[in-house]
A and B are shown apart, each in its own frame.
Chain A
Amino acid sequence: MEEIDEIIKEFLVESHENLDQLVEDLMELEKAPDNLERIPSIFRTIHTIKGTSGFLALPRLERLTHVGESLLVPIRDGELQLTNEIADGLFQMVDAVRNMLGEIESTGAEAEEEHLDLIALLEELQGNPKSTSPDASEDTDETEITSEIECADDPNTQIDDNTAQTESPTVNSNQKENQAPDAKGSAQSHSIADSTLRIDVQILDSLMNLVGELVLSRNQVLQFSSATDDSASNNALQKLNLVTTELQEAVMKTRMQPIRNAWSKLPRVVRDLANTCGKKVQVQMEGADTELDKTVLEAIKDPLTHIVRNSVDHGIDTTEQRLANGKPETGTLWLRAFHEGGQVIIEIADDGRGMDLDRIRAKAVEKGIISKEQAQSMNDRETINLVLLPGFSTAPAVTNVSGRGVGMDVVRTNIERIGGTLDIQSIPGKGTTLRIKLPLTLAIVPALIVKSTGREFAIPQVNLLELLRLDAERAKREIEYVYGTPVYRLRGSLLPLLYLDQLLGIRECSTESDSENPLDEKEAVNIVVLQAEDRQFGLVVDLISDTQEIVVKPLDSHLNEIELYAGATIMGNGSVSLILDAIGLAHKGKILSDQETNGLDEHKLEAESGSQTESWLVLDPGDGTQAAVALNHVARLEEFECDRIERIDNRSVVQYRNHIMPLVNLDGTPAMIDASDDDSSKHVVVCNHQCGQDVGLVIERILDIVEERSSTPVDKKCAQRVISGKVTKVITPEMINLTADGLFPS
């Protein structure tokens, strides 16, 4: 037997179930023709089969059920009484549908059988219901039989057959052609229907809970048993141990489904869409057997469809473009899925034209999402991520496929809601790859266990960026305060710190004057760096223990208003631990302001205030002041040995990359460096000249690289601004150029 498409399989199982119900309903209706309660159910069944068969391109089945449905309409509307012969016709139809389903199941395709006679009969029943008296209709039935032998059961024995129909399928002896496949088909149809069982997910959830509890009890019992030498009980426990483990795995498996289930509809979507767009696209799937939790699978279906539609519509180029660019005529869409590091990765890749970064920037500026200046300074990655912002669509025209503004932001939101991430990579002319990272299951999440004030807390790893540990001395030195708010410089940017014990109200907030370091000064500081929306912050905890898979359980109504907690979980030793919510912590610690809505992210804020961030290299000129150079003017940072510095006309120069590079002080005057200076080397910032020559700024030392928001452009004459809280002299290339050029005409 050929492998049947997943959708068709589902359709078959469903249809068989529905037909059983339909026959039952029809029997009841026949007994009490005035009782119209059953009609909607019958109608729905036929309608569903008709609709699905149309969708699955089964025209004969569709045609037959369509006629059946038409016959049911007047009955439903009370215009037609269900007579014996109408019921006969419907039963015949049911049998014919069953035969067809059996045929589909065994061969994978629709039978040739057209059932024209049956269709004619059904049409006749519908068309002139009153003109045929019962006697006459019996005659017609009789004549029908002879012509119908091939396709349908004998209508006179039909009713009897159908009483048995609910229990076992009837194989019609009158059928000559279809007999063998039909018998086979019926047997198989039931094997499919019987081998699956629909179970409420809630039951599976409670099963999982119970198994988790069993595992816990098993662990406790095993601990006791290790203290005894009784071999009999140890053997029994060993068995219990194994069975429990296997049971746990089996229960976990019940919730896992291959990603094929979510993918199966996509080739069809791609095909239809490609036809609409006049493109040729083939779909390649890799790793369709990768399993993930049903809830995750359900949640990912819509975003996947959206992404695939986008890829075909925007990503894959037209046939002409492809040929012009020397690509194969048929575009390829890859769907890949695999496990990596406890997560499921799904990649949707195309070999299309890639993203037009300039157009994205232009569109973003046009829509007011970013400012022009920002657009210029954005790197490729930032630009690509613009498409994930709300209201962004580069489609020039609204097609029925995409471009309606419900775009990638919804996709991203949906993916992030289930703890996943979305990443886009695009190479112009080569294609685009979307990478979705998903947790294996929603019920069990990996979490970091931390301790504070003797209590254990779990932090979901979705929010976790990194862990820092500062020993007591460094902590004292490197944790600084801005108006009493502790901060730590993490790779140049300030990371606000929150103390978990303070947030929990266990320890009083100590002010800066109280003590420099609110923690015990002898102790090292553990910082958990967390992401809350677009902000990062460090959570200071007493101890970081390890990572664990935890089962998230909601808190009840007494506690769910405390924003710090995302829920609770039961630890391996049976105790209850609270799960911390990164966003709640950030709100409580005032890192995220309450007014800020989720959709309003950094880009938008910046565009609104008309400012942008600039990176500054902050320097110490050696005279107690602070200077800064915009980072984009800096070519390199060098350190020259003093004996490499040569002198000419009372100026210092250095041989640098086959050029003579003049050295200047920060005020623009030529640097005079005494070779016999105490320092053995000098720090030099190499800046780009406008004339193409490099110039070296001699400085004492480099302090930091900081990002600052600038709302006013730097004034050339009054080159001062506040950077990192200090008044800073800003050195612009123009300043260096003027003075340096004057000194060293090139």
Chain B
Amino acid sequence: MKSKKTLCTFYVDKLLFGVDVSEVQEVLRAQNMTDVPLAPDVVSGLMNLRGQIVTALDMRQLLCLQPTDETRNLMNVLIRTGDTAVSLLVDEIGDVIDVQQDQFEPAPESVPKNVWEMIDGVFKLDDELLLCLNTSKLDRRDYIKSASRNLQTSLPHNHQ
């Protein structure tokens, strides 16, 4: 890992996450979304990004966080994956910040395994902790599946 990194940060359920800024294609306000029946829970829907169809992932589902009722104002963070893109639905966009390698520490083993796999580690900022997302995992179908299955077993009351 480089000694210095620039991260694009955003909040999901009051937790601060960061993605390497070079992997972010753009940030968009709430878009019209087409939901996909029978899709895994983490797939929030499909959106039209200038003629390209982009899958939007519900970060709360993906990261095993509490679902929110307020889905209308979610922001889209578009991440490049190969020749297409995937959108992460987040609560709020943070800043673009520089972090140093010496602030980094691996995530504690006690976080849920699926989440632990999604996170490279934690940057200890002055006033809060920044969880660094591993975007290469976003494309992994098997992971997405296990995440939604895990969520179904852990949070059954949320799936009505």
Interface residues of A in 446-485 (CB under 8 A from B): 455
Known A-B contacts A568-B53, A570-B53; A504 and B139 likewise in contact (beta carbons under 8 Å):
no
Asked if A578 contacts B86 (CB within 8 A), the reply is: no
Q: Which A residues lie within 8 Å of B51 (CB)?
A: 209-210, 212-213, 216, 570
Interface residues of B in 57-88 (CB under 8 A from A): 57, 84, 86
Asked if A575 contacts B42 (CB within 8 A), the reply is: no
Q: Quick one: closest B residue to A553, CB to CB?
A: B53
Give the distance in Å from the alpha carbon of A537 to the alpha carbon of B77 in the complex.
42
Q: How large is the interface on B (under 10, 10 to 19, 20 to 34, 35 or more residues)?
A: 20 to 34
Q: Which of B29-37, B106-114, B117-125, B149-157 contacts A (4 or more CB under 8 A)?
A: B29-37
Give the distance in Å from the alpha carbon of A157 to the alpha carbon of B38 in the complex.
75
Asked if A575 contacts B141 (CB within 8 A), the reply is: no
Q: Quick one: closest A residue to B57, CB to CB?
A: A558
Question: How far is the CB of B82 from the nearest CB of chain A, in Å?
Answer: 9
Give the distance in Å from the alpha carbon of A558 to the alpha carbon of B51 in the complex.
19
Q: How large is the interface on A (under 10, 10 to 19, 20 to 34, 35 or more residues)?
A: 20 to 34
B133 within 8 A of A: no
Question: How far is the CB of A346 from the nearest CB of chain B, in Å?
Answer: 32
Q: Which A residues lie within 8 Å of B139 (CB)?
A: 557
Contact among B37, B43, B47 for A558, CB-based, below 8 A: B43
Asked if A576 contacts B141 (CB within 8 A), the reply is: no
Asked if A455 contacts B35 (CB within 8 A), the reply is: yes
Q: Which B residues lie within 8 Å of A565 (CB)?
A: 36
Question: How far is the CB of B44 from the nearest CB of chain A, in Å?
Answer: 10
Question: How far is the CB of A422 from the nearest CB of chain B, in Å?
Answer: 32
Q: Quick one: closest A residue to B54, CB to CB?
A: A556
Known A-B contacts A575-B32, A577-B34; A558 and B40 likewise in contact (beta carbons under 8 Å):
yes
Question: How far is the CB of A182 from the nearest CB of chain B, in Å?
Answer: 48
B160 within 8 A of A: no
Q: Which B residues lie within 8 Å of A210 (CB)?
A: 51
Contact among A212, A505, A569 for B38, CB-based, below 8 A: A505
Asked if B42 contacts A558 (CB within 8 A), the reply is: yes
B144 within 8 A of A: yes
A574 within 8 A of B: yes
Interface residues of B in 14-62 (CB under 8 A from A): 32, 34-40, 42-43, 45-48, 50-53, 55, 57
Q: Which B residues lie within 8 Å of A574 (CB)?
A: 32, 48
Asked if B38 contacts A576 (CB within 8 A), the reply is: no
A561 within 8 A of B: yes
Known A-B contacts A558-B42, A558-B57, A559-B43; A209 and B34 likewise in contact (beta carbons under 8 Å):
no
Asked if A576 contacts B84 (CB within 8 A), the reply is: no
A562 within 8 A of B: yes
Asked if A558 contacts B48 (CB within 8 A), the reply is: no
A564 within 8 A of B: yes
A236 within 8 A of B: no
Asked if B32 contacts A578 (CB within 8 A), the reply is: no
Q: Which B residues lie within 8 Å of A455 (CB)?
A: 34-35, 37
A199 within 8 A of B: no
Give the distance in Å from the alpha carbon of A455 to the alpha carbon of B37 in the complex.
10
Known A-B contacts A213-B50, A576-B46; A558 and B34 likewise in contact (beta carbons under 8 Å):
no
- For A541-572 the 0/1 string (1 means CB < 8 A from B) is 00000000000010111110110110011100
Q: Which A residues lie within 8 Å of B36 (CB)?
A: 559, 562, 565, 578
Give the distance in Å from the alpha carbon of A557 to the alpha carbon of B136 in the complex.
13
Interface residues of A in 484-507 (CB under 8 A from B): 504-506
Contact among A553, A558, A568, A569 for B141, CB-based, below 8 A: A558
A interface residue numbers (CB < 8 A to B): 209-210, 212-213, 216, 455, 504-506, 553, 555-559, 561-562, 564-565, 568-570, 574-578
A-B contact pairs, 25 of them (CB 8 A): A210-B51, A455-B35, A504-B38, A505-B37, A555-B55, A557-B139, A558-B39, A558-B42, A558-B43, A558-B57, A559-B39, A559-B46, A562-B36, A562-B38, A564-B38, A565-B36, A568-B46, A569-B53, A570-B53, A575-B34, A576-B32, A576-B46, A577-B34, A578-B36, A578-B46
Additional A-B contacts beyond A210-B51, A575-B34 (18; CB < 8 A)? A505-B37, A505-B38, A557-B139, A558-B55, A558-B141, A559-B39, A559-B43, A562-B38, A565-B36, A568-B34, A568-B46, A568-B53, A570-B48, A570-B53, A576-B32, A576-B45, A576-B48, A578-B34
